[in-house]
Amino acid sequence: MWCSRVALRQLQRATVKPLALTGAPVGVMQRDMSTLPRVYVTRQIPPEGLRILHESGQVQFELWDSDDVPVPRKELLQKVKGVDALLCVLTEKIDAELLDAAGPNLKVLSTMSVGFDHLSLEELKRRGIRVGYTPDVLTDAVAELTVALLLATSRRLIEATHEAKTGGWGTWRTLWLCGHELANSTVGILGLGRIGVAIAERLAPFKVKKFIYTDMCPRPDLASDINAEYVSFDELAKQSDFLLACCALTPETHEICNKNLFSKMKKNSIFINTSRGGVVNQNDLYEALATNQIAGAGLDVTVPEPLPTDHPLFTLKNCVILPHIASASYSTRNAMSSLAANNLLLGLQGEPMLKELKL
C-alpha cells in the first residue's frame, strides 16, 4: 500500500519534464504557447496538480476557478469545445452530450478520482479517448476514515456529543449510550480490493475475531494478507457484526445493499458504506434502521450528494452521515491532483499513463 505522502513525493519526481523554451524570443514563446494542446480543468484542484500543469510548459489550460461550486453544465459544455484534454472530478458527468460538445480534438480524459461511475466508458472507448484515474494514492486516507466512521457509529459518538452539548448528560447510567465493540467480532467486506485490505489491516489490532468477504470471485492473493475467508453474499449478511461496503459502483452492484441484505443481517450489526452511494437502496436502509432491523449505519456517500437536509435518514439517531470526505487529507488530495495532472500530460504525449483505465 502506498502511503499518500510517499506517493506524493514519487509523483512529484515523476512529473513530466517541462518544454524547453529557455532563451527563445518572447514572440516565439507566445506563438509556441498558442499552439500547445488546450486543456480544460473543471475544478480548482489542489495546488500540486496545477503546479505540474503550469511548469510542464506543454499545455495551455483554463480552469473553473472554484472549489466550492461545480462548474454549471451549460458553462462546461461551452468550455470543452475544441479542447485536446480534460481534467475533471467526480461531480462532472462525462457522457455523449459532453463528448459531442468537445468534438474530435478531445483525446485524453483525466479524472481526479478512483471511481469512474461518472464516466460513460462505452462512449469514451468508441471515440478512442484515453482515460486516466487516481487509485492507490487515496487507499490510506479512505481506510482511516472508514475506521473512524465505524467507531463513531458503533460507539454512538455523535449521539453522545449531542447529549453532552444539550444537557442530556445526567447521572451515570448502566446502559446509557451503550454501543458495540470490535473485539471478538466478525467483520465482513463487500468487495475486497486495496481499500478493503487496508481497512482490515487497521481493524485487526482491535482484536477482531474473523474477517470474511465476498466479491465477484475469490481473491486469494488479497485475502491472504488479512487471513480473510471467502463466503457467499447471504453468508456475508448473516455472519457479519460489521459489514463494510467497499465495492465499485457497477450495474451489478447498483443497490445491491437492499432489504434482501438488511433482512439477513444481525439485529446488533453495523453497516458502513465508504464506496459509492448508489450501491445502497436508501429507502430500504431507512426501514432497516427505523425498525431496528440492524443496529446502525455509517455513510460517507449518498444519493444524491449532497443529501437534502430533510432526508429521512437524517432523522435517525442510529445513522451517521458524512459529506463524502473519505479521501480528504491534504497529502492525499495533493497526490491525487499530481497523479491526475501527470496522467493527462503523458496521455497527450502518447506515452503510458501512470494509472490508466483499460477500456
In Å, how far from its chain's centre is CA 304? Answer: 15
Position 31 scores a pLDDT of 42
Question: By percentage, how much of the chain surpasses pLDDT 90?
Answer: 90
Mean pLDDT for the stretch of residues 79-95: 97
Measured between its terminal Cα atoms, the distance across the chain in Å is: 25
Question: By percentage, how much of the chain surpasses pLDDT 70?
Answer: 91
Instruction: Using pLDDT thresholds of 50, 70 and 90, give the confidence band for residue 17.
Output: very low
Instruction: Using pLDDT thresholds of 50, 70 and 90, give the confidence band for residue 92.
Output: very high
Query: Rounded to whole angstroms, what are the CA distances from 135 to 4, 149, 308, 327, 335?
Result: 11, 21, 29, 11, 10
CATH of domain 38-137+332-357: 3.40.50.720
**Cα dihedral 347, 353, 354, 359 sign:** positive
> Nearest 10 degrees: CA dihedral of 195, 200, 203, 207?
180
Q: What CA–CA distance (Å, rounded) separates 224 from 239? A: 20
Judged against a pLDDT cut of 70, whether residue 1 lies above it is answered with: no
Position 34 scores a pLDDT of 75
Position 21 scores a pLDDT of 35
Out of 31-45, 124-138, 147-161, which region has the weakest mean confidence (pLDDT)?
31-45
Find the helix or strand (DSSP H, E) in which 144 lies: helix 139-154
> pTM of the full predicted structure?
0.87
Average pLDDT, the chain: 92
Query: Three-class SS of residue 189?
Result: strand
Find the helix or strand (DSSP H, E) in which 98 lies: helix 96-102
Mean pLDDT for the stretch of residues 238-247: 98
Q: What CA–CA distance (Å, rounded) separates 247 from 261? A: 15
Q: pLDDT, tens digit, for every residue of 191-214?
A: 999 999 999 999 999 999 999 999
Position 79 scores a pLDDT of 98
Tell the burial category of 249 from Cβ atoms under 10 Å away from its Cβ (0-12, 13-18, 19+). Answer: buried
The residue behind cell 498558442 is 34
In Å, how far from its chain's centre is CA 225? Answer: 23
Position 33 scores a pLDDT of 67
**Quick check: is 324 catalytic?**
yes
**Cα dihedral 93, 253, 344, 46 sign:** positive
In residues, how long is the chain?
359
The CATH classification of domain 157-166+178-317, taken from the options 3.40.50.720, 3.40.1190.10, 3.40.50.300, 3.40.50.10170: 3.40.50.720
Beta bridge partners of 243: 188, 271
Structural domain spans, the chain: 38-137+332-357, 157-166+178-317
Out of 20-29, 247-256, 343-352, which region has the weakest mean confidence (pLDDT)?
20-29
The answer to whether 293 and 263 have CB atoms below 8 angstroms apart is: yes
The residue behind cell 453495523 is 270
Q: Which contacts qualify for 312-318: CB closer than 8 Å, 24 or more apart?
A: 312/286, 313/282, 313/285, 313/286, 313/289, 316/286, 316/289, 316/290, 317/156, 317/159, 318/153, 318/156, 318/289, 318/292
Cell of 41: 480543468
Out of 22-26, 142-146, 269-273, 341-345, which region has the weakest mean confidence (pLDDT)?
22-26
Q: What CA–CA distance (Å, rounded) separates 347 from 349? A: 5
Dmax of the chain from CA atoms? Answer: 80
Q: What CA–CA distance (Å, rounded) separates 300 from 307? A: 11
Q: pLDDT, tens digit, for every residue of 103-150?
A: 999 999 999 999 999 999 999 999 999 999 999 999 999 999 999 999
Asked if the peptide bond before residue 352 counts as cis, ω within 30 degrees of 0, the response is no
| HSE of 193, CA atoms in CB hemisphere, 13 A | 17
Q: pLDDT, tens digit, for every residue of 275-334?
A: 999 999 999 999 999 999 999 999 999 999 999 999 999 999 999 999 999 999 999 999
